[in-house]
Amino acid sequence: MAKDKRRRDWDDFFGDFDEEFEEMRRRIERIMERLMSGEVPLEREPMIYGFSMRIGPDGKPRIQEFGNTIRRKEEVAKREPLTDIIEEADKVRIIVELPGVEKEDIKLNATEDSLDIEVDNPDRRFEKRIELPCEVDPDSAKATYKNGVLEILLKRAKVKEKGKEIRIE
């Protein structure tokens, strides 16, 4: 009885995550096939791939992949950093793990709906595009970097009124 209830609770909470997990399994399989076929050269750096699962502000679980980005032979592999996006009442806080890099090597570019992060030095390469959960003011961006952790704060964009009232004659 208790086991059935736990299974129902899991299903209620995670819903139809079976599709997401199955897609992740297929992606890992494709990565392994590309590595074994020699299509992607094995680097001296270790291959890193994983995922984190968190509950979003809407109460639904979110899966986020991280690790090395598998690219074509002619491209240099860049690692995708682990990130956390926290929505607050008036801002969005993005926390990014970038171990072993210097502040001067980090390039950030923000638009109203995305944030690009790039690190390109001889020892460490990271790259990630983050789709933001709401519109932000890119001019409000503030970033700090300490002990391998990058924190970016972006103020939410002012909500524009949509439409116009029509007066009836």
Specify the 3-state DSSP secondary structure of 16.
coil
**Where do the structural domains in the chain lie, given as residue ranges?**
1-75, 81-158
Which residues in 75-88 are b (16+ Cβ under 10 Å) and which e? Answer: eebbbbbbbebeee
C-alpha span between 157 and 111 (Å, rounded): 11
* Both structure tokens of 6: 């736990």
pLDDT at 39: 66
**How do the pLDDT tens digits run along the chain, 169 residues long?**
455 665 556 566 555 566 777 777 787 787 777 777 776 666 655 666 677 776 666 666 667 776 655 444 444 567 888 898 998 889 999 999 998 899 999 999 999 999 999 998 888 888 999 989 889 999 999 999 999 999 999 999 887 666 777 888 8
Contacts made by residues 86-89, CB under 8 angstroms, sequence distance 24+: 87/57, 87/133, 87/134
pLDDT at 23: 76
Which CATH class for the 81-158 domain? mainly beta
Count of alpha carbons within 13 Å of 143, Cβ hemisphere only?
21
pLDDT at 25: 77
* Both structure tokens of 100: 């072993």
C-alpha span between 70 and 39 (Å, rounded): 10
